[in-house]
Structure 1
Amino acid sequence: MSKLKIAIQKSGRLNQDSLQILKDCGISIDNGKDQLKASASNFPLEVFYLRNGDIPQYLRDGVVDCAIIGENVLVEKGQDLNFTQRLGFSKCKVSVAVTKSTEYTNLKDLEGKRIATSYPNTVQQFLDKNNVDAKLHIINGSVEIAPNIGLADAIVDIVSSGSTLFKNGLKEVEVLLKSEAVLAVSPLISDENQALLNKIEFRMQSVLKGKNSKYVLLNAPNDRLEEIITLLPGMKSPTVLPLAEKGWSSVHTVIDKNQFWEIIDELKDKGAEGILVCPIEKMVL
């Protein structure tokens, strides 16, 4: 029986988040310490633990069928590869940073300057697009130290919280791109394995939809019921059940987690009471 081969980062946060979403999809990985390859016990899947920067070539060659990888890596090393799903974790930016003492107004301030980076392709494309001529120094790791030792005037690197920049006396001045984990696919994937990937994608979508939604229950006076329902965007329409107390109904619905606080005051103004908000583990559409 064919097995779907998926690559994930060998170590680091992306590794942990990737394994977690597979677990949330009901896939159990027999993950021994320091293994480079592991199999799922309840799904035809093999996991390959690879260096992040090597994954695009493995996809290109068909060694793996798919991968959970940072979008920033695809932009740098795999622009010929496609991804089918944004996964909502490992979010970061690829940004330009300079020393805190540097006066910076706009991109033209980088003209003729030295930029240290681990993302030369991404940076060069950005500079070309904005008609800026600068000299790139390619550094693998510890890019932040370059301005402080006189190697470069600026850096381009991944920024998450910004704490690393702060510790090294740097400030973020431009954002080249925003990135998150994505599900990338090999152009050589077989039809059989594409069918397996479709099943995993469906599960991932259910997990992500659940994480981004909340289940809301509230009590509504019947004479304001229609007004309250119009405030509740749901999957299709809310469930309305009569309460034991005459003249009241219980309303159940699902809303985007980011919308709730926008409408809570309106719900209360319309007479809604006993509002209960619950997390959703998975949502199958």
Structure 2
Amino acid sequence: MKQRKIKIAIQKSGRLNEDSLKILKDCGISIDNGREQLKASARNFPLEVMYLRNGDIPQYLRDGVVDLAIVGENLLIEKGTDLQVVEKLGFSKCRVSLAVPKGADFKSVKDLEGKKIATSYPNTVNQFLQKEKVNAELHIISGSVEIAPNIGLADAIVDIVSSGSTLFKNNLREVKTILRSEAVLVSPSKIDDGVKGLIYQLKFRIQSVLKARDSRYVLLNAPNDKIDEIIKLLPGMRSPTVLPLAEEGWSSIHTVIAKDRFWEIIDELKAIGAEGILVCPIEKMVV
């Protein structure tokens, strides 16, 4: 009997496409991806990738055309509230924000009462306005939303913001973050029994990659009379490894620390007396 493959949808182009392919590669999955292909198979894992328009992906999941997809959380709020998040992926982070012209007199969301807002995310904006008890008129635009205030089409916009440079170039200022988004692995509410085991395997690989990305392997030398004090600073996977050095009275300590606490912990270790500190990236981390 032919083995069933996972069918996974990713964005056809753009940053999310690149980051999605990278995490699959980091999971040890090799994709035979020719130029301009809409579908590609993995050589070493039962998986098939479909390259789709971002806005079409939720419906492909509902229709059973694909089993999984990598999309932004903002798309789920707009078009996929019935889909379930399998894993948050930590990349392609952005925010959906409200922006107004730089010279606009804006003090609070209440200033939008009776105004016109241009957006590609009407459901998201409507939910936000209902929560804020504000009545405003929406102009739904596909792409280039930021130009709307400059041509008199809208008084404000709601759009995805990463660095804010596009807003700056169009003489707009960000005044309110409506939601924060990152890439997520999603599935339909009901998963096909034929791929549940494979999805579990893929999820396990992804979790191992994500844990490695968020961690650093640290090796250091320390005087034996400082070991207990140093170990208290090191929140390792279970406990640090301590090995004696050839030089009497000294040991080597090995552990894993969170990437976002790296400099804070390193400074404290140096103050205690740690020397020869080496910090290494981790390729995979299985716990």
Per the alignment, residue 121 of structure 2 pairs with 119
Per the alignment, residue 273 of structure 2 pairs with 271
> What is the CA-CA distance between 1:80 and the residue it aligns to?
1.0
Residue correspondences, number: 285
Per the alignment, residue 11 of structure 1 pairs with 13
Per the alignment, residue 185 of structure 1 pairs with 187
TM normalised by structure 2 equals 0.98
1:179-227 deviation per Cα after TM superposition (whole angstroms, max 9, x unaligned): 0100001234212211101111100111111011000001111011100
Paired residues of 1:59 and 1:187 also in contact (CA < 8 A): no
> Identical aligned pairs, as a percentage?
73
1:46-102 deviation per Cα after TM superposition (whole angstroms, max 9, x unaligned): 111100000001111111000000110011000111111111111100000000001
Q: Which amino acid aligns with 1:55?
A: I
TM normalised by structure 1 equals 0.99
Tell whether 2:178 aligns with 1:154: no
1:33 to 32, 35, 48: 35
Structure 1 CA distance for aligned equivalents of residues 213 and 265 of structure 2: 19
Per the alignment, residue 249 of structure 2 pairs with 247
Per the alignment, residue 93 of structure 1 pairs with 95
Structure 1 CA distance for aligned equivalents of residues 193 and 240 of structure 2: 39
Q: Which amino acid aligns with 1:115?
A: I
After TM superposition, the structure 1 stretch with the greater mean CA deviation from structure 2, 77-86 or 148-157, is: 77-86
Structure 2 residue runs without a partner (length 5+) = none
Runs of 4+ in 1 over 2 A off after TM superposition: none
Paired residues of 1:60 and 1:188 also in contact (CA < 8 A): no
Per the alignment, residue 141 of structure 1 pairs with 143
Per the alignment, residue 109 of structure 1 pairs with 111
Structure 2 CA distance for aligned equivalents of residues 77 and 10 of structure 1: 18
Per the alignment, residue 239 of structure 2 pairs with 237
Q: Which amino acid aligns with 2:249?
A: G
> What is the CA-CA distance between 1:264 and the residue it aligns to?
2.0
Structure 2 CA distance for aligned equivalents of residues 255 and 77 of structure 1: 38
1:206 to 199, 205, 208: 208
> What is the CA-CA distance between 1:265 and the residue it aligns to?
2.3
Q: Which amino acid aligns with 1:272?
A: A
Paired residues of 1:95 and 1:176 also in contact (CA < 8 A): yes
Alignment of 1:41-56 (within 5 A): 41-56=43-58
Per the alignment, residue 178 of structure 2 pairs with 176
Structure 2 CA distance for aligned equivalents of residues 275 and 62 of structure 1: 51
Q: Which amino acid aligns with 2:40?
A: A
2:260 to 258, 263, 269: 258
Q: Which amino acid aligns with 1:222?
A: N
Paired residues of 1:239 and 1:252 also in contact (CA < 8 A): yes
Q: Which amino acid aligns with 2:157?
A: I
1:57 to 40, 56, 59: 59
Q: Which amino acid aligns with 1:170?
A: L
> What is the CA-CA distance between 1:35 and the residue it aligns to?
1.0
Structure 1 CA distance for aligned equivalents of residues 192 and 83 of structure 2: 16
Q: Which amino acid aligns with 1:63?
A: V
> What is the CA-CA distance between 1:261 and the residue it aligns to?
1.2
Structure 1 CA distance for aligned equivalents of residues 170 and 79 of structure 2: 27
> What is the CA-CA distance between 1:260 and the residue it aligns to?
1.7
Structure 1 CA distance for aligned equivalents of residues 209 and 286 of structure 2: 8
Structure 2 CA distance for aligned equivalents of residues 223 and 34 of structure 1: 62
Structure 1 residue runs without a partner (length 5+) = none
Structure 2 CA distance for aligned equivalents of residues 270 and 117 of structure 1: 54
SS at 2:273 equivalent: coil
> What is the CA-CA distance between 1:118 and the residue it aligns to?
0.2
Q: Which amino acid aligns with 1:73?
A: L
Paired residues of 1:97 and 1:156 also in contact (CA < 8 A): yes
Per the alignment, residue 68 of structure 2 pairs with 66
